[in-house]
Amino acid sequence: MKAYVFPGQGAQYTGMGKDLYDNSPLAKELFEQANEILGFRITDIMFTGTAEELKETKVTQPAVFLHSVILAKTLEDFNPEMVAGHSLGEFSALVANGTLSFEDGLKLVSQRALAMQKACEITPSTMAAVLALADNVVEEVCASIDGVVVAANYNCPGQLVISGEFKAVEAACVAMKEAGAKRALLLPVGGAFHSPMMEPAREELAAAIEATTFSTPTCPVYQNVTASAVSDADEIKKNLIIQLTAPVKWTQSVQQMIADGATLFTEVGPGKVLTGLIGKINKEAVTANA
């Protein structure tokens, strides 16, 4: 079975999507439509902006989404039998399998980015990568720390990202190293994504998601929250609302996709982060980049 996976924030690079814009009339039309929907020329920042400009959350999230979705729409033989996306990438996956329209997907991603930006400004918060420590040990260390700090991204065995209040994450990093982690280092992010710190953003995004039409998908999506196949539009909607404050179960999602018959994983979007993680989750997995 053909599985298509879509990257999240962090995969962006200057010049992303320019080849699509220049070589595909459909891609050009969709990019111009996106400029109108967003109210600014995001293509200018994507194609010729600086890395700093591209790093702004309100730009990054729509930019990665657009690259993934427009690339998928220009692929000749695009017939996914299962899809998944990492964090933000879940929105790209939901356009790819017909749950969301291109326009609605882009509007939600833009609202998500702005809501997350606002939530980040309320309390100093951050994320940190923890390497070479078992998942259960990371969870136990987080639980032992005063303040808010939780496991946020289960990226692959031995690579977890924790998220929470700045001081709690700093204290957790020290404790992780004491517990045997090879590394525990703060990430250059704007705030504590996929943690309780995102509750204000979740509330704001929930209203937008509730007001959006979700259609029955053409194939199941393996959602971050459940790490299992979901085909019911209402359930997809509910899980997408929970996603902002819940962990990204990427390891578990990939394992479940393989158990359900995935034979080829194709990453659609900027970079090769997900194919790298999938190779670490299962060395036998066959991966490709669109």
Residues 32-54 pLDDT 10s: 999 999 999 999 999 999 988 99
Q: Which residues of 125-154 are buried (b: 16+ CB within 10 A; e: fewer)?
A: bbbbbbeebeeeebeebbeebeebbbbbbb
pLDDT of 190 over the 90 cut: no
Q: Is 87 a catalytic residue?
A: yes
pLDDT band at 197 (very low <50, low <70, confident <90, very high): very high
Residue type, 230: V
pLDDT of 123 over the 90 cut: no
Q: In terms of DSSP bridges, do strands 264-267 and 2-6 run parallel, antiparallel, or are they unpaired?
A: parallel
For residue range 209-236, what is the model confidence (pLDDT) as tens digits?
A: 999 999 999 999 999 999 999 999 999 9
CA 190/CA 148 separation, integer angstroms: 16
**Would you state the pLDDT for residue 57?**
80
Instruction: State the catalytic residue, choosing from 67, 86, 92, 194.
Output: 194
% of the chain with per-residue pLDDT over 90: 93
| Residue 34 burial (CB count, 10 A) | 24
pLDDT band at 126 (very low <50, low <70, confident <90, very high): very high
Instruction: State the catalytic residue, choosing from 67, 68, 87, 163.
Output: 87
**Would you state the pLDDT for residue 56?**
84
Residues with Cβ within 8 Å of residue 44, at least 6 apart in sequence: none
CA 237/CA 248 separation, integer angstroms: 16
Q: What is the CA radius of gyration of the chain?
A: 18
Look at residues 138, 208, 121 and name the one whose alpha carbon lies nearest to residue 177.
Answer: 138
pLDDT of 189 over the 90 cut: no
**Would you state the pLDDT for residue 160?**
97
pLDDT of 83 over the 90 cut: yes
Q: Find the range with the poorest average confidence among 24-28, 43-47, 121-125, 173-177.
A: 121-125
Residue type, 113: A
CA 140/CA 175 separation, integer angstroms: 10
pLDDT of 58 over the 90 cut: no
**Domains observed in the chain:** 2-121+196-289 (3.40.366.10), 125-187 (3.30.70.250)
- Which is more confident, 191 or 153? 153
**Would you state the pLDDT for residue 55?**
86
Predicted TM-score of the model (pTM): 0.96
pLDDT band at 264 (very low <50, low <70, confident <90, very high): very high
pLDDT of 246 over the 90 cut: yes
Work out the mean pLDDT of the chain and round it to a whole number.
96
Q: Which residues of 208-234 are buried (b: 16+ CB within 10 A; e: fewer)?
A: bbeebebeebebbbbbbbbbbbbeebe
The beta-carbon contacts of 43-46 under 8 Å, at least 24 apart in sequence, are 43/17, 46/14, 46/15, 46/16, 46/17, 46/18
Average pLDDT score over residue span 72-99: 97
Tokens of residue 158, six digits: 């031995």
Tokens of residue 134, six digits: 């078992």
CA 260/CA 258 separation, integer angstroms: 5
Tokens of residue 64, six digits: 């990665």
